[in-house]
Amino acid sequence: MAKNSMCLYGKNSVLERLKADPGSIRRVYVRDNFNAPHIMKLIKSAGIPVTVVSERDLLRIKRADRLQGIVAEIGKFRYTPFEELTGKSAGDRMSLVFLDGLNDPHNLGSIIRIAACFGNLAVVIPQHGSCDVNETVLHVASGGENYTPVSMVTNLSTALIKAGKAGYWAVGAVVEGGEDINGVSLPFPLCLVLGAEGRGIRHGIQKHLDMRVSLPMTGAPLSLNVAMAFAVFAHEIAKQRPDK
Which residues are within 8 A (CB) of 100 and not within 5 positions of it... i.e. 6 or more apart? 126, 130, 156, 193, 194, 195, 196, 201, 202, 205
**Contact yes or no for 71/61 (Cβ under 8 A):** yes
Instruction: Report the C-alpha gap between 85 and 65 in whole angstroms.
Output: 35
Residue 3 has pLDDT above 80, yes or no: no
In 3D space, the residue among 127, 187, 117 whose CA is nearest the CA of residue 157 turns out to be: 127
Compute the chain's Rg from CA coordinates: 19
In our burial notation (b when 16+ CB lie closer than 10 A, e otherwise), range 160-175 reads: beebeeeebbbbbbbb
CA angle in degrees (0–180, nearest 5) for 146-12-243: 40
Pairing of strands 169-173, 211-214: parallel
CA angle in degrees (0–180, nearest 5) for 98-137-20: 95
Pairing of strands 5-9, 70-75: antiparallel
CA angle in degrees (0–180, nearest 5) for 121-230-152: 50
pLDDT at 224: 86
Query: Which of these ranges, 14-28, 91-105, 108-122, 192-206, has the smallest mean pLDDT?
Result: 192-206
Sorting pLDDT into bands at 50, 70 and 90, what band is 218?
A: confident
Q: What's the rounded mean pLDDT across residues 180-185?
A: 94
**Contact yes or no for 58/71 (Cβ under 8 A):** yes
Residue 112 has pLDDT above 90, yes or no: yes
The pTM assigned to this predicted structure is 0.95
Q: What's the rounded mean pLDDT across residues 199-226?
A: 89
Domains assigned to the chain: 5-75 (3.30.1330.30), 82-240 (3.40.1280.10)
pLDDT at 146: 98
Q: Which helix (H) or strand (E) holds 106?
A: helix 105-118
Q: What's the rounded mean pLDDT across residues 126-154?
A: 97
Instruction: Report the C-alpha gap between 145 and 133 in whole angstroms.
Output: 9
For residue 36, give Cα distances in angstroms to 85, 96, 224: 37, 36, 36
What is the distance of C-alpha 67 from the center of its chain? 20
For residue 216, give Cα distances in angstroms to 99, 143, 174, 178, 183: 21, 31, 11, 10, 11
By percentage, how much of the chain surpasses pLDDT 70? 98
